[in-house]
């Protein structure tokens, strides 16, 4: 196994254990750049990430790396742009090592379109949960920029949104060569480009970058909700493209009307296009996905093992892939014969790992302790400021760390879902403009992880 593969598997494991936000913030842009005498060198984009990962995830990461390569003795972290002592890895890793902070998680991304060739229509398994989305995607490919504009696709985590929207881009690219130019961008990247453009007085460059395309694909649009400047710029970009019959493709984890802070004018733009959702894959489809992945990787597994995996892992195709990787790893590297029973055990362990994640009572306790109030205060209807803010923070963290739905967040706090939405948005906005609350929240999270 090469370093890239090893790290890919490691991230796949730890991703299941962390909240989405934590994973994206701290580990998404990491890379394993070298190993030498049992020391594995991990590059991170900046000092802040380095310190954080070193303190928080070192042990866990080493544990995972070891399951794949038992020569691993320790991990060393370094900053990719070389701020921190020059590592022996530098030579080995070559030139792109310095560009790490600009590299996305996927490796062979085309720098011009940001598309990853791994995502194709051919490898996308279609079943009743996504056939409408697939049909709509095919229609968009045939009729770029006219009938189905914008194309808005939504659904839960790990259900294939990124795969499908990138596949549309790749397919368009393949059919029209360089005549039609798609560009893929995660909405966080769009936001950071806007911020960069404003700060460096280079907004014109940014405008050109996003308006000078034929198909703009924005992934996970929910993250721009509430970021005013970004929404403003996106609105103008949207209009400019739309008026010129350029195709806009958007993905989100929820429908437009459920992105609470999304500006009304954007929402109504989205609702003017074609909106489709992707649901959970049914059993037959899960089997087909597993078989597809096995074929891609040129591997074979017993039907009974495939059945176990398909029965047990239901709600997230990414997790399904994680379990498959693990099974293949046991089979090949550890030479374990994976029977249905062994597969069950592997899955049990994976589930336990993710269950060892944070619980709601840990969150509530940490918030109460941090603000020096009681748990009863948190759930009470007391409107004193000393209690209101912690309560909102608690709801924010329940949503952020546990990915609970708003109704369940509300339920845990004896509130309705609109209060939960309001609290989440309020704190989210505060964090964006007031770093002291952001700092406090980091400290609370820290306490939760230590508990
Ligand atoms: P999302 O963006 O919705 O969170 P992704 O598109 O990243 O999900 O999908 C997660 C993983 O599952 C990816 O590796 C993707 O290739 C795979 N996947 C999801 N849906 C399908 C499908 N219908 N057929 C094949 N692979 C899929
Ligand atoms: Mg995605």
Environment class of residue 14 by beta-carbon count within 10 Å: exposed (0-12), middle (13-18) or buried (19+)? Answer: buried
Q: Determine the distance separating the centroid of ligand 1 and the alpha carbon of 277, expressed in angstroms.
A: 14
Query: How far, in Å, CA of 123 to CA of 136, rounded?
Result: 17
CB distance 289 to ligand 1 below 6 Å:
yes
Candidates 159, 170, 442; CA nearest to 317 is: 159
Q: Note residues around ion ligand 2 (Cβ under 5 angstroms).
A: 161-162
Ligand 1 proximity of 153 Cβ (cutoff 6 Å): no
Six token digits for residue 203 = 């907004």
- Gap from CA of 157 to ligand 2 centroid (Å): 7
Residue nearest to atom 1 of ligand 1 (CA): 158
Tell how strand 247-252 and strand 151-155 pair up. parallel
* C-alpha 59 – ligand 1 centre gap (Å): 29
Rounded Cα–Cα distance for residues 141 and 149 (Å): 12
**Angstrom distance (rounded) from CA 83 to CA 98:** 11
| Ligand 1 near 125 CB (within 6 A) | yes
* The predicted structure's pLDDT at residue 100: 31
Q: Chain centroid to CA 260: how far?
A: 20
Residues 79, 84, 88, 94: is their CA dihedral positive or negative? Answer: positive
Taking the CA of residue 166 as reference, the ligand 1 atom at the shortest distance is: 6
**CA of 159 relative to ligand 2 center, distance in Å:** 8
Q: What is the per-residue pLDDT for 354?
A: 63
| Owner of token pair 């205060």 | 377
- Is residue 386 within 8 A of residue 371, CB to CB? The reply is yes
Q: Which residues make Cβ contacts (< 8 Å) with residue 180, sequence separation at least 6?
A: 144, 172, 173, 214, 215
Distance CA 440, CA 272 (A): 40
Residue 124 Cβ inside 6 Å of ligand 1? The answer reads yes
Do 295 and 123 touch, CB atoms closer than 8 A?
A: no
Closest CA to 157 of 295, 263, 305, 24: 24
Distance CA 40, CA 24 (A): 21
The whole-number pLDDT of residue 141 equals 96
Regarding the beta carbon of 161 and ligand 1, being less than 6 Å apart is answered yes
Q: Whose CA is nearest to atom 20 of ligand 1?
A: 160
pTM of the model: 0.63
pLDDT score for 81: 58
Closest CA to 366 of 447, 429, 426: 447
pLDDT at 223: 83
Q: Is 162 in the pocket of ligand 1 (CB under 6 A)?
A: yes
Q: Report how far residue 168's alpha carbon sits from residue 163's, in angstroms, rounded to the nearest whole number.
A: 9
pLDDT, tens digit, 9 for 90 and up, residues 367-385: 998 888 999 999 899 899 8
Per-residue pLDDT tens over the stretch 211-240: 999 999 999 998 887 788 889 999 999 999
What stretches in the chain show pLDDT beneath 50? 82-107
């Amino acid at each position: 196994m090469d370093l890239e593969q090893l790290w890919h598997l490691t991230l796949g494991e730890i991703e299941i254990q962390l909240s989405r936000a934590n994973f994206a913030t701290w580990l998404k842009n990491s890379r394993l750049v070298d190993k030498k005498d049992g020391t594995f060198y991990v590059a991170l984009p900046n000092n802040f990430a380095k310190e954080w990962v070193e303190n928080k995830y070192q042990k866990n990461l080493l544990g995972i790396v070891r399951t794949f390569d038992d020569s691993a003795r320790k991990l060393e972290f370094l900053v990719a742009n070389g701020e921190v002592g020059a590592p022996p890895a530098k030579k080995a890793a070559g030139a792109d090592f310095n560009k790490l902070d600009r590299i996305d998680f996927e490796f062979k991304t085309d720098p011009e379109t940001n598309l990853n060739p791994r995502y194709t229509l051919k490898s996308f398994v279609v079943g009743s949960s996504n056939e409408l989305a697939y049909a709509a995607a095919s229609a968009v490919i045939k009729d770029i920029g006219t009938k189905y504009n914008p194309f808005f696709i939504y659904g839960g985590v790990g259900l294939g949104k990124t795969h499908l929207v990138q596949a549309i881009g790749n397919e368009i690219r393949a059919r029209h060569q360089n005549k039609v130019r798609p560009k893929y961008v995660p909405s966080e990247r769009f936001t950071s480009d806007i911020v960069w453009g404003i700060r460096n007085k280079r907004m014109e460059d940014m405008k050109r970058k996003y308006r000078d395309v034929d198909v703009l694909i924005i992934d996970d649009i929910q993250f721009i909700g509430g970021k005013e400047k970004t929404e403003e710029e996106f609105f103008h970009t949207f209009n400019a493209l739309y008026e010129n019959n350029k195709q806009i493709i958007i993905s989100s984890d929820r429908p437009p009307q459920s992105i609470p802070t999304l500006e009304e004018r954007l929402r109504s733009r989205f609702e003017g296009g074609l909106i489709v959702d992707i649901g959970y894959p049914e059993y037959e489809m899960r089997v087909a996905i597993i078989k597809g992945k096995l074929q891609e990787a040129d591997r074979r597994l017993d039907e009974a093992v495939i059945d176990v995996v398909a029965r047990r892992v239901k709600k997230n195709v990414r997790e399904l892939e994680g379990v498959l990787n693990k099974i293949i790893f046991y089979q090949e590297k550890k030479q374990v014969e994976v029977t249905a029973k062994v597969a069950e055990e592997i899955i049990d362990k994976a589930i336990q790992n993710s269950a060892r994640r944070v619980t709601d009572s840990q969150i509530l306790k940490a918030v109460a302790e941090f603000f020096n109030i009681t748990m009863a205060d948190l759930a009470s209807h007391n409107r004193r400021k000393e209690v209101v803010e912690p309560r909102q923070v608690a709801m924010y963290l329940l949503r952020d760390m546990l990915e609970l739905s708003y109704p369940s967040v509300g339920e845990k706090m004896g509130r309705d879902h609109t209060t939960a939405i309001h609290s989440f948005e309020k704190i989210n906005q505060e964090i964006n403009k007031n770093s002291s609350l952001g700092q406090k929240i980091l400290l609370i999270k820290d306490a939760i992880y230590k508990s």
